[in-house]
């Protein structure tokens, strides 16, 4: 694998999808804890899946504006390696979660135009990584996983003090172009490797990871 290329397969809901991601060479596997999402999993399901993930693959829990009660339960019951905050969590809340749970935190930031980069910058001092996603439409039910991309030129070839991960509308057909244009070496995909909402396609997962590694 080229140095530094890391791929996250998000929204895994069952053993078949998880096994496909692992066998294809995923570096991160993501579990979604958001009831409105077709990729939502229960803590019980995630616990059973997480114990089958080999060492060296990061298990990421995606949450949306979760309170401490839920996060206490999640972190106590599921062997996760990273929390992904995909809601309207402020920089202060992000720092609070990182301190409380002692886990690396990835903050998702939606980008539609250059003004959104100011929001991204506000998290650089408190998050361990930033997931740069397409900003959802105002009427969208989901904060991510909508299959939308943004103008990758907005973040192209800039230097960042912490790792960034590119998300939003990525597919096996465009991931290589997206990485070349942005200079980012980490990518995240969910709907782009599905045959139906929430249903991961093993062939698309393998194609996506191969394309990213090229």
Rounded to 5 degrees, what are φ and ψ at 195?
A: -90, -20
Q: How far apart are CA 133 and CA 163, in angstroms?
A: 14
Which residues have a catalytic role annotated?
A: 10, 133
Residue labelled with tokens 């809901």: 13
Evaluate whether 85 touches 105 at the Cβ level (below 8 Å): yes
- Name the nearest CA neighbour of 19 among 52, 60, 59: 52
3-state secondary structure of 84: strand
Helix or strand (DSSP H, E) at 94: helix 91-101
- Other Cβ atoms within 10 Å of 81 Cβ, number: 15
Tokens of 112: 């539609």
For the chain, give the number of residues: 214
Evaluate whether 103 touches 136 at the Cβ level (below 8 Å): no
DSSP tally for the chain: helices H, then strands E: 7, 10
């Amino acid at each position: 694998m080229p140095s530094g290329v890391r791929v996250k397969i998000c929204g895994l809901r069952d053993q078949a999808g998880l096994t496909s991601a692992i066998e294809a060479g995923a570096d991160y596997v993501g579990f979604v804890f958001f009831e409105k999402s077709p990729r939502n999993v229960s803590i019980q399901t995630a616990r059973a899946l997480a114990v089958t993930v080999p060492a060296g693959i990061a298990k990421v829990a995606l949450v949306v504006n979760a309170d401490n009660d839920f996060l206490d339960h999640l972190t106590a019951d599921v062997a996760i390696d990273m929390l992904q905050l995909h809601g309207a969590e402020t920089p202060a809340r992000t720092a609070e979660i990182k301190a409380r749970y002692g886990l690396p935190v990835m903050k998702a930031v939606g980008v539609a135009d250059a003004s959104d980069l100011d929001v991204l910058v506000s998290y650089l001092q408190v998050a361990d990584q930033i997931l740069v996603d397409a900003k959802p439409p105002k009427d969208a039910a989901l904060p991510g996983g909508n299959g939308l991309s943004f103008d990758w030129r907005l973040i192209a070839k800039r230097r960042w003090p912490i790792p960034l991960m590119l998300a939003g509308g990525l597919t096996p057909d465009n991931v290589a172009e997206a990485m070349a244009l942005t200079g980012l070496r980490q990518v995240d995909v969910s709907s782009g490797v599905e045959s139906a909402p929430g249903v991961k396609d093993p062939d698309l997962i393998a194609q996506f990871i191969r394309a990213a590694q090229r």
